[in-house]
Amino acid sequence: MTKGWGNLTEYYRARAPLRIGIAGGGTDVDPYASKKGGCVLNTTINKYAYCTLTPRSDNTMCVHSSYYGRFEAPLDGGPLKFDGNNDLIKAVTNYFGVTDGFDLLIESDAPAGSGLGGSSTMIVAMISAVSSWIGKKMYHDDIAKLAYHLEREVIGLKGGLQDQYAAAYGGFNLMDIDSRGVKVQKVDIDEDVADELQYRSLLCYTGTSRESAGIIKSQIESFNKGENENALDESKRLAKEMGKALINGDIEEAGVLLHESWGYKKQFSDKISNDTINKLYDLAIRSGAIGGKVSGAGGGGFMYYICKYNKRADVAQELQKHGVMVTNFMFDPKGVTSWRCKNE
């Protein structure tokens, strides 16, 4: 990287939306996705990963994060080595050949291991901030492909394809995934339907995070043994059916399909659910939820429910009695965005 990229009097900020995996999550993970083709329905929400890049006058990268702590590294000694410490920004820095120093502030509206696609969303925000700084024009598909390549193939973090594309594109999307790549189809939901779904949706935090890599590894092992192929097939079908239900404005049907989808998702691996999650789910159904699921790989984090038209408050109240934190949110149709400001 040559001197002069960016301006020391400006900083560059990017924001990428977190996502709720509604149906089909897990079918975007290889080897199933490459062999049989996956399909995922998801939506982004107004919870974000933020990345703020401030150029420095030296050759040092200095990362600040409330979760990962502080990290510094010189950028004039060749590619940064991966060791599990801030590997996401190392991968982005190496890819773009950055040698000018910068400060990087990393923030997220959700805790790590929450099931909202946090790490993938963060690397999307990082790519957007760095590309904005160096003046490289990147489109949503470019950012998503690069984020997947760096996170999954370069660093080697286990996972699927949906998170990077959700963060890059934003909105309600149905994603068809196969060995050739990802086809993102916007789910065209009527505004009244989206508003009603918003009202009847409940997002709550179980209070426990989880490490998705172990769950995904277990799912892959089960697929290789032929133990969960039918469940993955059915989940893929239900993602498409749920997309149709929302387009048709049938929220009741979407809730029923969500319930059915959760039943199949639990068959991916014995690590997807546990006694606590099962009890909370049963409580929500008894209180007026039509269907629900754990967002993401499973094992903890956030749970998402679609409730009967007049029962959302009842479901929330019962879950809160059992220590669950209900999280206010809105659907956000926008994908990753970046901007720059004067560093006063």
Residue with tokens 């999954």: 152
Radius of gyration of the chain, Cα coordinates, nearest whole angstrom: 20
Q: Which pairing describes strands 201-205 and 302-307: parallel, antiparallel, or unpaired?
A: antiparallel
- Closest Cα to residue 208, out of 299, 283, 317? 299
Residues 6+ apart with CB under 8 A from 183: 175, 176, 177
Residues 6+ apart with CB under 8 A from 58: 101
Active site residue 195: no
How far, CA to CA in Å, does 164 sit from each of 123, 155, 168, 185? Answer: 8, 15, 6, 15
Q: Which of 28, 109, 163, 332 is catalytic?
A: 163
Alpha carbon distance 187, 9 (integer Å): 41
Phi-psi region of 93 (alpha: psi -120 to 50; beta: other; left: phi over 0): alpha
Supply the residues annotated as catalytic.
163
